[in-house]
Amino acid sequence: MKHAPGSMILGIGAFAPEKVLTNHDLEKIVDTTDAWIRERTGIERRHILEKGKTNSDQAAEAAHRALKDAGLKARELDCIIVATITPDSFFPSTACGVQAKIGATHAAAFDIAAACSGFLYGLALANSLISTGFYKHVLVIGSEVLSRFTDWEDRATCVLFGDGAGAVVVGPSDGKKGILGAYMKSDGRLGHLLSLPGGGATHPATHETIDKRMHFLKMEGREVFKHAVRTMVDAAEHILKETGVHASDVDLLINHQANVRIIDAVAERVEIAHDKIFVNLQDFGNTSAASIPLALDQCRREGRLSEGDKCLLVAFGGGFTWASCLIQF
């Protein structure tokens, strides 16, 4: 390790909506099969947020749980960062919605849109804000309601995504535990391969944009797959080199949960043993920015994160964006 960590995770919490949609349920909606979805992606079921509930509702629930875990009150937060591409609205931000719902009366609040890399972008930002002494307690949330932006007539995408939220409270390091390094990258030239084209200033909502189904997520799956493996390997290798940690010293690898074939390919290329990879996408599908904090929460509850463990987090998403973070627990 080159530097002592400046910040550490003080608490983790997550929220998964009660309603579950299985692959068999999807067989009744589009021309697909449970076998195709399992073989090509590893996904078996996903959670869907109930009608009437919002992104900030589920984000606030995850936030409450992370604060409880950290032993902190909402009013002790200096900043709330929500990573999401499925916000409550363009503005006000989802983070402001969370701020109001949890009563974080002293906190600044804003969203970041870096798709599936958003949570790691938020964590990198929180690490900087805390390491420089600008803030003491930052709440980072990854929360998505992708079901509301999924084209339920497009079998190539609707089988992939799910809803959920995960949150961490970040605070000053105790000198041993904490964020050893963080890395963020982007390549906007490839943005068209994964996007939601309608509703922005380029294509404001019209009858035509609705007829053309432009308000739903679009993805060139095969192309995205190739870039996902390449960029996540870059992100993992970069952070290991920067922190001086060898791949064999990583205790747990949590990749963005998009496709089990991508997760395996990344682990194989970075040379991280199979038993150190965490996978929960069979139960959640791809929850974009929520996938890593949802996984972190589950790992901790299942005892997969012990004191002293080095955990490598790696993500890739629309933009394109990619990011990594190495944490000592």
Whether 255 is catalytic: no
Position among 194, 232, 239, 312 found at the interface with ligand ACO (CB under 6 A): 194
Q: Is 221 in the site for ligand ACO (CB under 6 A)?
A: yes
Question: CA angle, 82 as apex, 26 and 281 as ends, to 5°?
Answer: 30
* Of 1-9, 128-136, 255-263, 293-301: span binding ligand ACO (CB under 6 A): 255-263
Q: Is 41 in the site for ligand ACO (CB under 6 A)?
A: yes
CB closer to ligand ACO, 264 vs 309: 264
Q: Please provide the DSSP assignment of 61-88 as one string.
A: HHHHHHHHHHT--GGG-SEEEEE-SS-S
Question: CA angle, 176 as apex, 310 and 62 as ends, to 5°?
Answer: 65
Q: Is 36 in the site for ligand ACO (CB under 6 A)?
A: yes
Q: Of residues 23, 55, 259, 286, which has the active-site annotation?
A: 286
Strand ranges across the sheet with 79-83: 7-15, 163-172, 138-145, 79-83, 108-112
Judged on CB neighbours under 10 Å (0-12, 13-18, 19+), 307 is: exposed
The SS3 of residue 277 is strand
Taking the complex as a whole, the smallest distance from the CB of residue 223 to ligand ACO amounts, in Å, to 8
Taking the complex as a whole, the smallest distance from the CB of residue 40 to ligand ACO amounts, in Å, to 4
* Of 2-10, 12-20, 35-43, 49-57: span binding ligand ACO (CB under 6 A): 35-43
Is-contact 299 94, C-beta < 8 A?
Answer: no
Is-contact 207 152, C-beta < 8 A?
Answer: no
Beta partners for residue 313, in sequence order: 254, 325
Q: Is 143 in the site for ligand ACO (CB under 6 A)?
A: no
Position among 318, 322, 325, 326 found at the interface with ligand ACO (CB under 6 A): 318
DSSP strands (E only) in 177-309: 178-186, 194-195, 218-219, 252-255, 277-278
The dihedrals phi and psi of 81, each to the nearest 5 degrees, come to -115, 120
Q: Of residues 23, 47, 79, 256, which has the active-site annotation?
A: 256
Position among 51, 207, 222, 274 found at the interface with ligand ACO (CB under 6 A): 222
Is the preceding omega at residue 17 within 30 degrees of 0, hence cis?
no
Taking the complex as a whole, the smallest distance from the CB of residue 217 to ligand ACO amounts, in Å, to 7
Binding positions for ligand ACO, 101-120, rule CB under 6 A: 115-116
CB closer to ligand ACO, 181 vs 318: 318
Residues found near ligand ACO in the complex (CB under 6 A): 32, 36-37, 40-41, 115-116, 155-156, 159, 194, 221-222, 224-225, 228, 258-259, 262, 286, 288, 317-318
Catalytic residue numbers read 116, 256, 286
